[in-house]
Amino acid sequence: MADLTALQNGARAFFELAKTQRMAWSCALVVGLFLTWYGHVPVFPVLAGCILAVTISTMRAWPRLKPKPVIRGGR
């Protein structure tokens, strides 16, 4: 039962993180399509760059999911 709870918490954290990164995914998709269709750039380097950019921004945002402790007189 503990393993299932940990798995559910991990999945919930991933989906919360994915919700906060919607703009990054959208921008990566638009830029990738623009470069591929109008710029005639090869698909695989563009795909790799877009995935890399979203992965880096997601990994930077990962620590922000944890609640910060209230120092003095929280709201």
- Count of domains for the chain: 1
Between CA 32 and CA 42 the distance in angstroms is 10
**Could you list the residue range(s) of the whole structural domain that residue 60 is in?**
2-65
**58 Cβ contact list (under 8 Å, min separation 6):** 17, 18, 21, 24
For residue 72, tell me if it sits in a domain.
no
- Tokens standing for residue 47: 């795909």
> 18-71 pLDDT, tens per residue?
777 788 888 888 999 999 999 999 999 999 998 898 888 878 876 665 666 667
Between CA 24 and CA 8 the distance in angstroms is 25
For residue 30, tell me if it sits in a domain.
yes
- Tokens standing for residue 59: 């990994």
